């Protein structure tokens, strides 16, 4: 297995990305090869400062990067040798099995949609956020921010994508899928959720348990929560704010530490033809390590093949 890493991706790159890659290598060196996209001189310098031999990595040298504030589609055209662009080209060509970045999210989505492309039958790819609950498995919320407006048929597909991810990567058997709403009753909600409920009701494609509310976010009664990206991103940001508040108040509890995004590494773009992982822009070396490990887990689970099969 070969995993590509964008060394220029993130607010603390390249130091955090190189150090995180070193941490990941120490855990996966017997199983995966790591391919680094970035400035070879910088990569080798940081490795040597860390007492690490950079020759164990394959380095695809480039000095071009797409900044966090750049317009993604324009940057893709103007910077053909940017680390994200090269990573997606390698992914599309089959030179790597998965590609991960904490860089410009928009650029990652451009690469996913225009180079790797969607799985035939998938209307819109999605990303999802793991939300801790009182069990060893998180609740997966999708979409988490890339599609703020969604039709009922798109939300229906999110339920399929989220179920496959929960089952094959998180090991949740027959995951329970809930539609996020303002009440549990069938007639509750806006036009979007009412129409989506009718589409999901009685389906055999996933285990639909009905509407769920905000009070169900941390409940063991649901494994996958489906919503549009506007709502999903608000849920994700609220969870991050909750964790910051807990830290600020110096509350010591192992459960609350599971709200630390660095433990999850990122999220795959669900519904495209290969494995691409998006991580938080403020990822530190621990988050980068977990981003790489998540990429390997998704590839190993053959999630893309299972999604393609589901949408045939």
The helix (H) or strand (E) run that includes residue 209 is: strand 207-212
Cα separation, 280 vs 92, in Å, equals: 23
Furthest C-alpha separation in the chain: 62
Instruction: Determine the topology of domain 128-257 in CATH.
Output: Isopropylmalate Dehydrogenase (3.40.718)
Please answer whether residues 66 and 87 qualify as being in contact, where contact means their C-beta atoms are separated by less than 8 angstroms.
no
Cα separation, 222 vs 111, in Å, equals: 32
- Do domains 2-121+271-310 and 128-257 share one topology? The answer is yes
The tokens of 273 are what?
């033809």
Cα separation, 301 vs 299, in Å, equals: 5
- In the chain, domain spans: 2-121+271-310, 128-257
Cα separation, 78 vs 260, in Å, equals: 36
User: Counting beta carbons within 10 angstroms of the beta carbon of residue 185, is it exposed (0 to 12), middle (13 to 18) or buried (19 or more)?
Assistant: exposed
Instruction: Determine the topology of domain 2-121+271-310 in CATH.
Output: Isopropylmalate Dehydrogenase (3.40.718)
pLDDT tens across the length of the chain (312 residues): 999 999 999 999 999 999 999 999 998 877 889 999 999 999 999 999 999 999 999 999 999 999 888 898 888 889 999 999 999 999 999 999 999 999 998 899 999 999 999 999 999 999 999 999 888 899 999 999 888 999 999 999 999 999 999 999 999 999 999 999 999 998 899 999 999 999 999 999 999 999 999 999 888 999 999 999 999 999 998 988 988 898 899 988 888 888 888 888 899 999 999 999 999 888 999 999 999 999 999 999 999 999 999 998
Looking at residue 192, its pLDDT comes to: 94
Cα separation, 88 vs 98, in Å, equals: 9
């Amino acid at each position: 297995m070969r995993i590509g890493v964008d060394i220029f991706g993130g607010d603390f790159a390249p130091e955090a990305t190189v150090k995180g890659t070193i941490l990941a290598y120490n855990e996966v060196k017997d199983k995966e090869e790591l391919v680094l996209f970035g400035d070879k001189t910088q990569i080798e310098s940081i490795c040597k400062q860390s007492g690490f031999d950079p020759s164990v990595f394959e380095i695809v040298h480039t000095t071009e990067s797409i900044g966090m504030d750049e317009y993604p589609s324009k940057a893709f055209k103007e910077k053909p040798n940017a680390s994200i662009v090269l990573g997606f080209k390698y992914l599309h060509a089959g030179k790597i099995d998965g590609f991960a970045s904490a860089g410009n999210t928009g650029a990652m989505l451009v690469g996913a949609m225009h180079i790797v492309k969607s799985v035939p039958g998938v209307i819109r790819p999605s990303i999802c956020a793991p939300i801790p609950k009182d069990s060893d498995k998180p609740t997966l919320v999708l979409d988490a921010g890339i599609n703020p407006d969604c039709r009922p048929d798109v939300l229906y597909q999110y339920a399929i994508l989220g179920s496959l991810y929960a089952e094959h990567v998180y090991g949740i058997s027959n995951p329970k899928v809930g539609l996020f709403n303002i009440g549990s009753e069938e007639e509750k909600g806006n036009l979007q959720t009412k129409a989506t409920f009718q589409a999901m009701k009685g389906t055999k494609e996933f285990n639909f348990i009905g509407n769920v509310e905000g009070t169900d976010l941390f409940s063991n009664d649901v494994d996958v929560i489906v919503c549009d990206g506007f709502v999903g991103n608000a849920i994700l940001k609220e969870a991050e704010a909750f964790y910051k508040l807990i830290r600020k108040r110096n509350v010591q509890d192992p459960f609350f530490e599971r709200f630390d995004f660095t433990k999850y590494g990122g999220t795959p773009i669900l519904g495209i033809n290969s494995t691409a992982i998006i991580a938080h822009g403020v990822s530190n070396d621990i988050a980068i390590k977990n981003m790489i490990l998540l990429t390997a887990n998704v590839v190993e689970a053959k999630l893309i093949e299972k999604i393609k099969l589901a949408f045939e």
